[in-house]
Structures are given as C-alpha cells and as structure tokens.
Chain A
Amino acid sequence: MGLLSDPVRRRALARIVLRLNTPLCVLSYVAGIAWFLALAFPPLTQRTYMSENAMGSTMVEEQFVGGDRAQGFARDFAAHQRKSRALPVAWLERMMRSVGLEVYTQSFSRKLPFPDETHERFMVSGTNVYGILRAPRAASTESLVLTVPCGPDSTNSQAVGLLLALAAHFRGQIYWAKDIIFLVTEHDLMGTEAWLEAYHDVNVTGMQSSPLQGRAGAIQAAVALELNSDVVTSLDVTVEGLNGQLPNLDLLNLFQTFCQKGGLLCTLQGKLQPQDWTSLDGPLQGLQTLLLMVLRQASGRPHGPHGLFLRYRVEALTLRGINSFRQYKYDLVTVGKALEGMFRKLNHLLERLHQSFFLYLLPALSRFVSIGVYMPATGFLLLVLGLKALELWMQLHEVGVSPQEAGGSPNPGPPLPGAQGVSLASLLAPVLISQAMGLALYILPVLGQHVAVQHFPVAEAEAVVLTLLAIYVAGLALPHNTHRVVSSQAPDRGWMALKLVALIYLALQLGCIALTNFSLGFLLAATMVPAAALTSPHGPRPFYAALLMLTSPAAILLGSLFLWRELQEVPLSLAEGWQLFLTALAQGVLEHHTYGALLFPLLALGLYPCWLLFWNVLFWK
C-alpha cells in the first residue's frame, strides 16, 4: 500500500512498468510456453501412486475363466442384432436373467435440434437394458457400473459378451459389498445420457425417457468397455470427459496396476508408454501424449460413455480394446481378469474416490502432472494481459492529467470523471454490439435452420454450419458499423480504453476457463494472448489483422484439428481438414444441445465477442 500511495515511488514504479513493459511481456509469454513444454520432463512430472488405502495393492485373486462363454454370448448377440437391426432387447433381458441378474429396461427418445449427419440420426429412440447384481450381504446403498455402449458405428458385441460372462462369474461370488449394474445402452452416448438422467432423476437435456424401475444406490465408479474383436493387442484408456472433467487419478492408477499385473499392453491416447525417462526420448514422447490429452480435454467432448458419468461425480473411464497388427494378442480372459480385479478392488472402497488428484495432466499412464505444477504456465500467459492492461491504464491516466498532478493526486482511485465518462460512453456501443453478435452466433444457426433450408439448397445440418460461419464472418464487418455510432472526441483515448476493457475481459474469461478446464484455458491463452497484446490501430495493420485472424476462436479450432491429427500421426490434407472442421462445428453445437457441452456457448457468448473487441480496436478510426 505504501508503495502505491507514496507519490514519488508510485511514479517510479509507473515508469518501470511503462519502460520495461514489452520485455516483461515477452519474458512472461516465453516463460509460460516454456513452462508448459517442460511439464513432460521428470522434475515436473511425478510417478503416479495409489492414494486410496482401500485399493492399496493388486492383492486379489482373479478367477474369471469365461472367455469361451463370452465369445458365445458375443456371437449370439451379433446374430440377434443383425436380425433385428436394433439392440436385441428381449434377448439381452433373457440372457441377463439367465445369469441371475435383476433385469430392467428403459426406453428413451430425443429429437435432435438438427440432423446429426456423422451418426445419421435425428429422431432418436431406443431402449437401454440393465441388470443389477445385488450384493448378497450389503444394503444396496452403493453400486458400481459396467457399461457397454451399442450404436450404429460400433456394435461392441464382444464387449456385450464379456459383460454377460463377467456378470455370470460375479454372480457366483459372495464378497460383493456394492451392487453391480451391468448396463447396455442403445445409441451409445445418447442412451447413457438418458439412463444417467433417469437414474439421478434430473432432466438437463430435454431427453424423454421412462423412469427406472430398479435402482442400486449411489454409483461409486463406472467402467465403460468397447471391444470389437475376440482378441486384443492392447487396451486404450480414455479419461477426458464432458467439459474437460477427469476422473479421480486413483481410478486410472487402479487400471494401470491391473494392466501391469495381467501383463496387458495398455496405452493412453493410443500411445505406448515411454520406458526411459532419463534420456530425452521418453519425455519428448510424453510431451506428445500430453499435448494430445490437452487437445482432447480442451474439446470438452465426452470421449466415451464415461464422460457423461463424470457430470454426476461418478468416477469413470472408458477402456477400448485395440486390435492392431502386433504379434502378441490377448484373449477375452485376460481382459476379463483385469476387469474382475478392478471391480473387486472397487468393491473394497469405503468412501467415494477422493484421495487422489481430480485435476491433472498425463504425459504417460504412469506419470502425471499435478495442478499445482501446471497452473503457472497459464499464470505467466495471463500476466501478459495484466501487464498490458496496467500499461494502458497508466497511459490513460497520465495522458489525461498533467505530469505534476499525476503523482500529486492523493486518491487516484476514481480519476477524472469527465474523461472517464467520455470513454465509457464510447465503449458501451462496441461492447454491446459484439455481445449481440455473440448472442446471434449462439441462437440463430439452430433457430434459423428452417429459413435457411427454404431459401438455399442445403440440408439442415449444413445450413446450421453455414449460418454459423456466415454470422461469424459478418462480425468482422463490425468496426465499420460501430464507428459511426461512436462519437470519438479523443481517438487515441477511445481505442486505449476499449483495449483496456477487452484485455481485462479476456484475462477474466481465460482465468475462469483455466480454473475449470486448464487445457482449454491454456490453448486459448497461448494463441490469443500475443495478438491481444499487440493489437493497436497504429503500426503494421495488415500484419496485426492477419495475426488476429489466425488467433480467432474458429481459427484456433481449425489449427487444433490439424495439430491433433498431426500428433496422432494421421496428417490431414487441407480439404480433409476443412471437412473435419465443418463436422466439428456441427458436432460442437449438437453436443451442446444433447449432452450440455459448454465449449460452443463459451466460444459464442464469451470469447468471440471479446475477440471482436480487439478486432474493433485494430480498425479504430
């Protein structure tokens, strides 16, 4: 306080901030990026460890031997599914009943806001089948879930077979302290969402579904299984859920320990584990995996049925059987044993999984970066915005006041109401107009799809995407429209004030996003911050314009798609990339409406208007 209120020191400090602003900003930005890149290296990554006492070791005996039985179930299931062209509900009910479960079904229906062309569905109606294995000596107050999503893309018949065989095996054990729910959902994630909403008796997405007849207490953990072959070469685990939520790290640790115990080959993001962390290769490979995780988490999509469980704070992960060209293959018994071990250990749980981390990044299955370690990366990036805002504020302050008075003002809190008033009035219009653009971007595409279909020769899904792009581009014309409204008396002060507001707005948004979804916050900060800091109406305007265009939310999405495929070693051509971009836009809007993913509203209502403000600053007249 003393430092700030002492006029002499205050001016000295102001001078330092003004003079060293650019180097400090550059330093801070570089530090943020470097910090992030260093996350995959050993001092910052730690080995994962089991924190939960109740699941302390893998010391359980796996007795599952029903591999043949699982294959038999899988064959029958596939045959019935081919015959009925839908989920063979009656057959599933019969089989679950025959292995001794309490069987219930749930029907659901949902009309999507516009046709989903990727999954070829619009009016969705289906049936979920679930069987409850009651714990013989416990009070049905807690449960575990094993779920298999069935959909048009992946029938997952082997997964259903394994689920039934495991149910039969589990039924023979008397040590269950939690009920186990075996859930087969139709229309993959739509069914999962319907079932979860009905189970928790909420309706967040406008799903119509019949109420559940059987319940089994609070769900403690869930495992989703996707298997499409009788043998697998590896199991891939997915943790990223809706809006970047992650399951407790202990659940992943549990999976990893049973992978090791069973000698299974387990992958994360489809990448093998780097063995050597002492040389450069291991961490570099880890960085690749970490980047993939950041991109996936930033997308905010539920990357598997587990992603929807996370909304209800049910720790969950998805296991995918991969059958590649590797020599060594594992049969269903090995996978079943790993699952049995995991469920037996989860059965030992006494409380919800809460001992380990909820916020982490994974450079490998056995390594993690905790929130305390990765957060400074975003902190450094946001500091740039803070420094720039401070510089602008000081410039604004001292431009309006004479140098003598600048330091002498005893209470610099509300300086010069007159000057402030002018800039506030001039700010209101651009801010309101950009927010209105954002609102239009959010509402109009879905609302106006029918109008668009009537007037243009396009399908609904295309109409939505094209309207989206049209409104987005239309926003770029904003400065030319707003400057007529704004009566700028002091042009320099005007854009400075606008940029100051935009900087603070951006910093606040990014800070909030980084707290809930670090990956998204970091990606946006790393791309948007330099352009935001540089933008001004003076200087090389075409260069600034190009930079700002490149770092607009849509461009970031496009760039992320290319980076993602590059990291997966399936590079995209430009045309493919564009197609994928259009699909991603449609999916983003759809997922917002069907599952409540927040990326679309966040970009449309928050970041896009904010970015428009900078665009406004650039073309300030």
Chain B
Amino acid sequence: MAAPCFFSRLWRAALALLALGSLAASQIEDQAKQFFRSGHTNNWAVLVCTSRFWFNYRHVANTLSVYRSVKRLGIPDSHIVLMLADDMACNARNPKPATVFSHKNMELNVYGDDVEVDYRSYEVTVENFLRVLTGRIPPSTPRSKRLLSDDRSNILIYMTGHGGNGFLKFQDSEEITNIELADAFEQMWQKRRYNELLFIIDTCQGASMYERFYSPNIMALASSQVGEDSLSHQPDPAIGVHLMDRYTFYVLEFLEEINPASQTNMNDLFQVCPKSLCVSTPGHRTDLFQRDPKHVLITDFFGSVRKVEITTETLSLQRDSQITESSYKEDRMDEELMEPLKYAEQLPVAQIIHQALLAEVWTLPSAPCGMLGSRSWPATFTGSVLQLVTSPVHVLSQSSELHKVQF
C-alpha cells in the first residue's frame, strides 16, 4: 500500500520540476541581468559621529549601530571609515566599561568585540571629513583612514550629531553646512569616487542637510524635516543617559532583520520610523537617483558586493577569452609591482582620471569638468571577472576585491 503511493508522489514531483525547469530556462537570462543591476563592484561606508561628551552617548551608539549592521552584512573594516568624536566605551562615567548599548537593559551591545575606529576624538573635524570624502589626503595618511573608492563604488555615508537648519555641528568648535557637503559630493562625482551614494543623517532638521545636493546618483534620508527636532530614545537610568536617537534606533531594528540575501528594497527603508514612533518626520530624497528605489536593495549599500546566486540550471555564458586573458595579465603585472608601492600610489588616482601621475609631487589635478560631458554612463562593464565553475551548481561570483586591477 505504501510503496505505490510513494512512487506516485515522486513522479508528480519530477513532473513539476521539469515544468519549472522549462519556465526557468526562459527567465534565467533576465535573472542574470537583474543580477548585475546595481552596477557597482564594491561597497564603502563612511560613518560619522560628530558629538563629544558623555551626554551625547546616543550619537556614538547611533554610529556604532550602523557600523555593526554594515559589518554584519559584509563590508569589511578596510572599507569602513569610522569617525567617532568620543570614546564612550572607555569614558570614566560609563558604569559598564567597554560597552556601548543601543537598547535598554543592556540588550544589545553595539560596541561588540572589535571596533576599528579610524578617526577618533579631535581628529573628527570638518576638514578631515571633507578630505576623506574628496580623497585630498596627505600622502602619509595610512590606508585605513582613506576612502579608496572608485566609480564602481557604492558608498553609504551616515552622519549623526547636533545640527540645525543647514548645518551639522562638529564637536563644539565648527560645523559643516549643507552647501559644503553638496560641493564635496560633487567633487566626489567629478573625481569618479562613487557609483551611487546613500546619505543618511540623524540630527535635528536633518532634511536641510540634503536639500542642496545636486550631484547625480545620490539618495538621501534624514531623521527629521526642517523645523523639527530629532528625538532621543531608550533612556537608561543605570547608564544615566539616553542610549539612542529614535530614528537610528528604528533603522537598527530594521537592519537587524536584513540578511545578506534579503530582497528588501529602499522603499522599505523609507517606511522605517513613521511619525508615530519617531515624533519627528523622517524625510528622503530620490530625485537625483537614477534607479527606482524599489529596485535598489538595502544590501546594495549596507552590504558588500556578494553576487552569489545558486541555480540548478546550467547557464551558458559567452566566454570572452580576451577579457580573461587581459585581466590575468594585469593580475600578473600587479604581482610584479608589489614591492615598491607607496601609500600614495595605492590610490589609483592616475588611472581614474587617466592622467599621468607626477613624479615627485603628489598633487591632484583640478577636477576634470570637461570630461563630464563626454563620459558615458554607466561605464562599460567588461572589466569584471566572471568565474565559472563547471559543476552541477553554477556559482557566479564577482569578487569585490579583484575589481581594482581591471581598469
């Protein structure tokens, strides 16, 4: 009795698989296109907390919670520039040394086990921040303090601190205006330092900070509208301060649900922290962005490029021998060049702007405005390496580390 029944089920399952297979065969090409839809090959994050002092604990916790999320989703420390104006974990007033909590009752320690702070305390200045963004950094600057992005980079910029209409205060001594920030992004665009940029700011009147942006491919979010204050959250009597700001708290809650394969898109991020929770009205701006936010995955910015998709189908991709060979050659060349590299040369400035690097003086030529018109966008995508594994399961992987040598 049991055996025929079992066989009939198996049969039906096999039939269904076949049917599915035929359907998938027609769609598989589309999926492959979708697969590379964001057009970026690497991810970077610049996370900035601009406030000092113990009572601004929440701003450090904000930044660390975003740090925790991007790191969890795959951006390595080498691709994160973390700027923290104060060291809350080691503050003498902290009753729980070496921790920074984002939730009451010590539920979530966002300080974690290893935090690599690139710019700390008085290094967090407007000048340093703008230098990191625009890449105009002294040659002696170590690699960990640079934003080594290129025109295939998706960059997440998160800022938090005390702000007002049109400015964000850095420490107690200076502030960055929305115009300065917009100009910095334009410089980044002209120097081909990003592919797409996601800007998030959690501060009072945060929306004022993105209203002056004019460079393409920027999506911006803010915790509050002009004229609104952003409010704190999670008061903790044991620690004696507010642990988080409302907006970032709910963003963190949202990001905790994301995993590297999540298909959650930006529209979902826009819905985070409605006014009933935030008290302020979060804002977003997408008019500079080329793609429809609904097709932009959260992991396009919060995760590292990790284009692995497991299919059961065999997909025959055109093998372009020329590309493979040239990339292989360049790989070889890179190995040969290894010894005499200087820090300054690690930034492929000359390659990016197609100009010869001056022999001794490391100066950047002024941004090539003329090039902008002639530049085709999106740039050709031929450089990426597709490694094909000929096994029943095909793995398409696009390494985020390999991209540099290909241009």
Contact = CB atoms under 8 A, between A and B. Distances in A.
**Chain B interface, >50% SS class:** loop
B54 A59 contact: no
A132 to B, nearest CB: 16
A397 interface: no
Contacts, number: 49
Given A60-B237, A137-B97, A350 B92 contact: no
A60 B235 CA distance: 9
Interface stretch (A172-180, A229-237, A444-452, A523-531): A172-180
A138 B90 CA distance: 10
Interface string A40-64: 0000000000000110110111000
Interface in A330-382: 344-345, 347-348, 350
A260 to B, nearest CB: 16
A60 B240 contact: yes
A136 B92 CA distance: 8
Interface string B205-240: 000000000000000000000000000000111101
Count class of interface residues, chain A: 20 to 34
Given A53-B55, A54-B53, A54-B54, A347 B241 contact: no
A176 B93 CA distance: 6
B95 A174 contact: yes
B55 A175 contact: no
A61 B238 contact: yes
Interface string A49-89: 00001101101110000000000000000000000000000
Contacts of B90: 137
A175 B92 contact: yes
Nearest to A136: B92
A96 interface: no
B263 interface: no
B272 to A, nearest CB: 26
A135 interface: yes
B91 interface: yes
Contact of B54 (A60, A173, A174, A350): A350
> Max chain A CB contacts within 10 Å: which of B54, B92, B93, B241?
B93
A138 B240 contact: no
Interface string B60-103: 00000000000000000000000000000011111101000000
B55 A54 contact: yes
B54 A176 contact: no
A348 B235 contact: no
B93 A59 contact: no
B53 A61 contact: no
Contact of B53 (A60, A174, A345, A350): A350
A444 B241 CA distance: 59
Given A54-B54, A137-B97, A59 B92 contact: no
B235 A59 contact: yes
Contacts of A137: 90, 92, 97
B100 to A, nearest CB: 14
Given A54-B54, A348-B54, A350-B54, A175 B237 contact: no
Range of interface residues on B (Cβ < 8 Å): 10 to 19
A421 to B, nearest CB: 60
Interface in A368-406: none
Contact of B237 (A54, A56, A61, A135): A61
A463 to B, nearest CB: 56
B238 A138 contact: no
A345 B97 CA distance: 18
Contacts of B236: 59
B55 A344 contact: no
Contacts of A350: 53-55
A56 B54 CA distance: 12
A176 B92 contact: yes
B97 A59 contact: no
Contacts of B54: 54, 177, 348, 350
A174 B240 contact: no
Nearest to A175: B95
A173 B239 CA distance: 12
B93 A175 contact: yes
Interface string B238-251: 10111000000000
A105 B241 CA distance: 37
Contacts of A56: 55
A173 B53 contact: no
Interface in A81-119: none
Interface in A183-242: none
**For the complex of A and B, 6 pairs with smallest distance between CB atoms:** A61-B237, A177-B92, A137-B92, A138-B92, A175-B95, A60-B240
7 contacts: A54-B53, A59-B241, A60-B240, A138-B92, A175-B240, A176-B92, A177-B54
Interface of A: 53-54, 56-57, 59-61, 135-138, 173-177, 344-345, 347-348, 350
Given A54-B54, A59-B241, A348-B93, 14 more contacts: A54-B55, A56-B55, A57-B235, A59-B235, A59-B240, A60-B237, A60-B240, A61-B237, A174-B95, A177-B91, A345-B240, A348-B54, A348-B55, A350-B54
